[in-house]
Structure 1
Amino acid sequence: MKKFALLSSLLLAGAALAATPKDTLVVQQSSDTPTIDPGATYDTGSGMIVENIYETLLTYKGSSLRELEPLLATKWAISNAGKTYTFDLRKNVKFHSGNTMTCRDAEYTFERNLVTNSAESGNWFLSESLLGTSSNAGDDKSITWAKIDKAVECNSNGQLVFTLPKVDPAFLAKLAFVGQSVVDSKYAIGLGEWKGTEADWKNWIGKDLQGSKLSAAPSGTGAYKLVRKDANAILMQAFDGYWGKKPAIKNVVIQKVPELAARQQAFLRGDADIVEPGSRANVEEQLKGKPGVVVVDDLANVNSTAIFMNENIKDAGRLGSGKLDGRGIPANFFSDVNVRRGFSYAFNYAQYIKDVQNGKGKQRTMLLPDSFPGYSTKVKTYTYDPKKAADYFKRAWGGNVWKNGFTLNVAYRAGSVAAQTAMEILKKNVEGLNPKFRVNIQAKEWSAMLNDSKAGKEPMILLAWAPDYADADNFLYTFYSSNGYYFPRSNWKDAQVDKWLEQARSTPNQAERNRLYALVGQRAYEQAPFILIPGGVNLNVVRDNLVGASAKTYNPMTSFFGTGTFFKDLSKK
């Protein structure tokens, strides 16, 4: 016990160990962790922790993107013409609190997610499936407690039953999303969370769970339990009561190390087993070929990344003068399509591929991984063209953009080399067009950037999207729909695009969906609401004594950036 206490103190302090112990995994990343509450988890930083503390009903099988297998469920059946799902749950599963998991815990979990659902959580697509709307009861008065209660119930056999208003082919995949992990209802209620009854449900409608009591003190069924957490590190320990195979790694430490050079040096010394390594260029220049280093390359990239241009900026403090006088921008600066096209032509896509992806990247036509059904190669793309960029800026706002200039404040995630490089490329090229153009770039804490961007405060940011479930709708609706998750970041709306997207999600015919998605992509090209960042080829970097982090085991639907698998499946030799 004394040894463990000493180890936890050293690791949480970021002390050098020369080499991490065989029973300990040390991971270093640039960002913080916004939450450990599954109901609020909707970013990869939080997901990496939550998916190892909690568990879902089912999960992806091996490296497959489409094949699912039981986890907390043991089997399921589909009936009622595809609208009823009945799950048998695993027996003798313990939560970290010591409580035994029952069907009531699963029922409580999904009802809690429906009650607290907001656009800032991953529960909107669960609500779409079970209630027929992405909204919560505060925004949609047709949602009643009776409706929520009926959507998910435990039957007399202790089985969990979901009843959908209409068929949703993606429903099972949605249940594999980390945010739908089963929580300990008795424990949560004891902390002061929602009581799980009609009596107090209205007080929890749309409630922000990011800083909940459950986030501070989680109790899941996962292979690891939380031991300590502070602003710079998280320590997890293998759960002795875990129902599954006992993990070989006993201790997991996640350290926040914003500086790339510091992470790389710790990795090369053996102080860290896995690090957020920076861009492909950083890996190949600084890490590849060094003693003790294994680069796992040619991995699937199912993320989409874009630079957002917010058409309705809701923070006067980011606007400078708030006018087109060279010292700021108006709140609706990006509402002029000529501004957006000017920025799109000012980004050097080929340079980004060369500098960040070391030539191993591809410019995409739409904000959808090219491996997904619905991706169209026929949609047009922007190229770096200073002359066209200048032409569009000269047209923007009746010529006042070119005449008066502007000052634009841009944020990127602190510690992200790729995001910083993208913004520096854009800054250099835009400022090179006109001496009156100025772009100020600023590193910003991940959680602060997420919160400010969802409030519409960021004028321009770079954000990526990792899939919640393997379907084109999860990307295209998210980015392009005025009802999508990312809408508050861009405030771009096109009625025809909204119509096409709604049609695509309601038809089972894949060919028709593909046609509609191609129309969406082409309209987005014409309207330029985003600057599309080229998609790279993924790679991971791990120490050579780590077992289980290979291309064969890698699954891009698992949020963990270092292995594409769960901590419990790793070991050291």
Structure 2
Amino acid sequence: MKKLAILSTLLVASTAFAAAPKDTLVYQWSSDIPTLDPAATYDTGSGAIVENLYETLLTYKGASISQLEGLLGTKWTVSNAGKTYTFDLRKNVKFHSGNAMTCTDAEYSFERMLVTNEGSSANYIIAESLLGTGANANDDKTITWARIDRAVECNSAGQLVFTLPKTDPTFLARLAYTGFAVVDSKYAIGLGEWSGKEADWKAWVGKDLTNSKLDKAPSGTGAYKFVREDANAFLATAFDGYWGKKPALKNVIFQRVDEIAARQQAFLRGDADIIEGGGRATDTAQLKGKPGVTWVDDLPNVAATALFMNQNITDKGTLGSGKLDGKGIPANFFSDVNVRRAFSYAFNYQQYITDFQKGAGKQRTTLMPDTFPGYDAKVKKYTYNRAQATAYFKKAWGGQVWKNGFVLTAFYRDGSAAAQTIAEILKREVEAINPKFKVNVSAKQWSEMVASGNEGKNPLISIGWAPDFADADNFMYTFYSSNGYYAKRSSWKDASVDKWLEQTRATTNTAERNRLYSLVANRAYEQASHILIPAGVNYSFFRDTIVGAGKANYNPMISFTLGTYWKELSKK
């Protein structure tokens, strides 16, 4: 009881409490946590926690993004011309509830993903492999219970068997995604989640699990188990029944602290072990080289960020007058390619690299990591050019944009210095071109950004993508396909691009896939589909009492800011 009282104090305390205890990791950030249900996890804020409470069949080996190793799956075989995968599961594994993990739990977990699959979750990724479509049974009437049931089953030997409709060279990589974790079926059903039976599966098709019963009370097999969460803090504690090596850190606390200055002060005092930074310029000036701070630089960056120009804005409340009369914009304002090109030329890329990234940034040609196969460095890219921006603004909407002006709102994630800087640079440059142009900059909480983006409400937002699995498909299809996850955020559609991307999924020939990706990239440049934000060189920093973090242990596929799982960390 005494320990619980101490932990409760830590949870609700501000940044003023004394140095973080040796057995406790304290992380301060500006984000909320959209969900703790793996089947609804599709953002890095949720992923940073879920990946430590739950476990997947496979994970990445060390710092590699291409080598996989078993986690809850110990070994696997591939047969039937690459369409059948049979997994042996780890024995003597317990859930946080005390229930023993069996093949039934794994089967339930994947069937639950296929049944509930809806637009804001990652479940379409596994559905594409197991059902041959990212749709659910409401949107695709050919999906039946029998079809879902056949896709994933337990055989008589207790092995988990996946049966794919066609060969998928990315299937194993997909299984390493945080959201495709094994949940406690008996516990979940007891909470009132889907029964796992055919009898009620239709009632759960497309159900949003963001605020599910498992979100409120998770039970995984991970090294840490959930204790409590409120609007300002999250607490997990080491799971005594964990099958693997006992974690060195007893407790992990995530505190929400919106102000970067407050996070910095807490960090320098030692009240927080790790914090969300304010970008390279701010972090270098305020934290690098300070006593007690370890700084690690030149880390790989496998994320991509863009400004999304929404061609079909669904929220009338963001449109002002809803007309090109100088008092707002129409819902299809960005459907004119001249508008998109004008905005693309108006963004000052080099200023962002110089001022915010302190010179440690690079303009990419495509919205994917330049270390991934399929990236084409020869594709043209937009550069800051006020004359070109002016010329395209004068062409836009038959001259009405230049003549009448506009008012629009650019949204960014509250607390994100990078996203705020991006929006402010665009605002400054666009408004300098014509006094009739007005760009309002507004912050939204992360969960609100995700939800409104899923509904196509935001006119202009800066948002990034961290890979779910290490393959070009996870970026190119996600950003550029009209069936991709981000399609609703931009409503950009190009028939040729859709055709080329489908073709990349129909071949295992790497050279052919790369050729098709180059076609997509060139077309996206021509049509100014997105404003590509320069990619920074990753870095991390933490208190020098932290052991187990650093370049040798950093894997960019892990959501947590240090690129490693909590169980790998300790404090001296």
TM-score (norm 2): 0.99
The answer on 1:370 being equivalent to 2:370 is yes
Shift of 1:15: 4.8
Q: Which residue of 2 aligns with 1:509?
A: 509
SS at match of 1:432: helix
Q: Which residue of 2 aligns with 1:468?
A: 468
Distance 2:105 2:14 in 1: 37
* Segment of structure 1 superposing worse, 344-353 or 507-516: 507-516
Shift of 1:179: 0.5
SS at match of 2:552: coil
Q: Which consecutive unaligned segments of at least 5 residues does structure 1 have? A: none
Q: Which residue of 1 aligns with 2:275?
A: 275
Q: What are the within-5 Å matches in structure 2 for residues 278-293 of structure 1?
A: 278-293=278-293
The answer on 1:325 being equivalent to 2:325 is yes
- Asked if the contact 2:28/2:275 (under 8 Å) is kept, the reply is yes
Shift of 1:12: 2.9
Q: Which residue of 2 aligns with 1:56?
A: 56
Q: Which consecutive unaligned segments of at least 5 residues does structure 2 have? A: none
Distance 1:500 1:529 in 2: 16
- Asked if the contact 1:118/1:124 (under 8 Å) is kept, the reply is yes
Amino acid across the alignment from 2:452? D
Amino acid across the alignment from 2:7? L
Distance 1:53 1:188 in 2: 15
Shift of 1:373: 0.3
Distance 1:500 1:192 in 2: 43
Distance 1:529 1:322 in 2: 22
Deviation digits for residues 372-399 of structure 1 (CA, Å, limit 9, x no counterpart): 0000011000010001001000000010
SS at match of 1:78: strand
Distance 1:147 1:564 in 2: 37
Q: What are the within-5 Å matches in structure 2 for residues 168-567 of structure 1?
A: 168-561=168-561, 563-567=562-566
Amino acid across the alignment from 1:175? L
* Segment of structure 1 superposing worse, 88-97 or 34-43: 88-97
Distance 2:241 2:265 in 1: 36
Distance 2:277 2:172 in 1: 33
Q: Which residue of 2 aligns with 1:2?
A: 2
Q: Which residue of 1 aligns with 2:568?
A: 569
Distance 1:250 1:85 in 2: 37
Instruction: Go from structure 1 to structure 2 and tell me whether the alpha carbon gap of 1:557 and 1:151 turns closer, same or farther (over 3 Å shift).
Output: same
Distance 2:291 2:297 in 1: 17
Amino acid across the alignment from 2:333? F
SS at match of 1:282: helix
Shift of 1:410: 1.2
Shift of 1:277: 0.9
Q: Which residue of 1 aligns with 2:66?
A: 66
Distance 2:355 2:20 in 1: 32
Distance 2:84 2:170 in 1: 13
Deviation digits for residues 345-384 of structure 1 (CA, Å, limit 9, x no counterpart): 0000000001111001000001011000000011000010
Distance 2:30 2:522 in 1: 35
Amino acid across the alignment from 2:68? L
Amino acid across the alignment from 2:186? K
Q: Which residue of 1 aligns with 2:33?
A: 33
Instruction: Go from structure 1 to structure 2 and tell me whether the alpha carbon gap of 1:435 and 1:15 turns closer, same or farther (over 3 Å shift).
Output: closer
Distance 2:168 2:22 in 1: 45
Shift of 1:481: 0.2
Amino acid across the alignment from 1:59? T
The answer on 1:23 being equivalent to 2:23 is yes
Distance 2:450 2:169 in 1: 30
- Asked if the contact 2:15/2:266 (under 8 Å) is kept, the reply is no
Shift of 1:519: 0.7
- Asked if the contact 1:247/1:568 (under 8 Å) is kept, the reply is yes
Amino acid across the alignment from 2:122? G
Shift of 1:224: 0.6
Distance 1:404 1:308 in 2: 23
Q: What are the within-5 Å matches in structure 2 for residues 140-179 of structure 1?
A: 140-179=140-179
Distance 2:209 2:4 in 1: 31
Amino acid across the alignment from 2:130? L
Distance 1:120 1:17 in 2: 38
Distance 2:228 2:470 in 1: 34
Shift of 1:507: 1.0
- Asked if the contact 2:11/2:234 (under 8 Å) is kept, the reply is no
Deviation digits for residues 458-487 of structure 1 (CA, Å, limit 9, x no counterpart): 000001000000100100000000000000
Distance 1:14 1:109 in 2: 38
- Asked if the contact 1:380/1:522 (under 8 Å) is kept, the reply is yes
Q: What is the number of residues matched between the two proteins?
A: 572
- Asked if the contact 2:15/2:263 (under 8 Å) is kept, the reply is no
Amino acid across the alignment from 1:277? G
Amino acid across the alignment from 1:174? R
- Asked if the contact 1:12/1:253 (under 8 Å) is kept, the reply is no
Shift of 1:529: 1.5
Distance 1:530 1:255 in 2: 34
Deviation digits for residues 225-261 of structure 1 (CA, Å, limit 9, x no counterpart): 1111001110000011111100000000001111111
- Asked if the contact 1:12/1:235 (under 8 Å) is kept, the reply is no
SS at match of 2:323: coil
Shift of 1:8: 2.6
Distance 2:331 2:164 in 1: 41
SS at match of 1:431: helix
Amino acid across the alignment from 1:324? L
Shift of 1:105: 0.2
The answer on 1:123 being equivalent to 2:123 is yes
SS at match of 1:291: coil
SS at match of 2:553: coil
SS at match of 1:148: helix
- Asked if the contact 1:364/1:532 (under 8 Å) is kept, the reply is yes
Distance 2:100 2:501 in 1: 43
- Asked if the contact 1:88/1:159 (under 8 Å) is kept, the reply is yes
Distance 1:117 1:146 in 2: 16
SS at match of 1:277: coil
Distance 2:332 2:165 in 1: 39
Deviation digits for residues 393-450 of structure 1 (CA, Å, limit 9, x no counterpart): 0000010000000001111000000110111100000000000000000011110111
- Asked if the contact 1:19/1:271 (under 8 Å) is kept, the reply is yes
Distance 1:83 1:126 in 2: 14
Shift of 1:512: 1.0
Q: Which residue of 1 aligns with 2:44?
A: 44
- Asked if the contact 1:12/1:234 (under 8 Å) is kept, the reply is no
